[in-house]
Structure 1
Amino acid sequence: MAKPDNRADNEVHLQEHINHTLSKLHAAEDYLDEHADEIKADEKQAIEAKNDRRKESIDYFIAEKKDEARD
């Protein structure tokens, strides 16, 4: 039998996702700041692309959190 849909802590989980993703984003930015001249252009581009996706994810998590707050 399936568990009932418990959405009571969705906002908390979404905030955890936001915090984790922000942490990874900042760590990658710090890495680029410190080592940009030491890494290959394709590696730098890959990190920047991943950070772009992280920013999109953060926007999505924030929107979802707002939706959960309204419910």
Structure 2
Amino acid sequence: MAKPDDRSDNVEKLQSMVQNTIENLEEAHETMQNQSLSSEQKQNIKEKNKRREESIRGMRNEIKDEYADQHSSH
């Protein structure tokens, strides 16, 4: 039998994911200061950070949607 869809903690999970992604973004910014990185490595980090920023925006929008869903059904 399938588990019921428990979405009650989705906002908290998404907030945790956003926080982890922000921490990864900050660490990558620190890594970029390393003078021994090649330009290719720096470019790879920049591209990955761009994807992280897009991901954060998407997760924040999802948090808003989940929050609205939770509070409109009560």
Matched residue count = 69
TM-score by length of 2: 0.90
Q: Cα RMSD between the aligned structures? A: 0.6
Give a deviation string over 1:21-66, Cα, whole Å, max 9, x none. 0000000001112x1x311111100000000000000000000000
> Structure 2: which 5+ runs fail to align?
70-74
CA distance in 2, matches of 1:8, 1:15: 13
Partner SS, residue 8 of structure 1: coil
TM-score by length of 1: 0.94
Q: Which runs of 4+ in 1 moved over 4 A?
A: none
- Residue 63 of structure 2 corresponds to 65
- Residue 23 of structure 2 corresponds to 23
Q: Kindly indicate whether residue 10 of structure 2 is the aligned counterpart of residue 10 of structure 1.
A: yes
- Residue 44 of structure 1 corresponds to 42
1:56 to 54, 65, 68: 54
Give percent identity, aligned residues only: 41
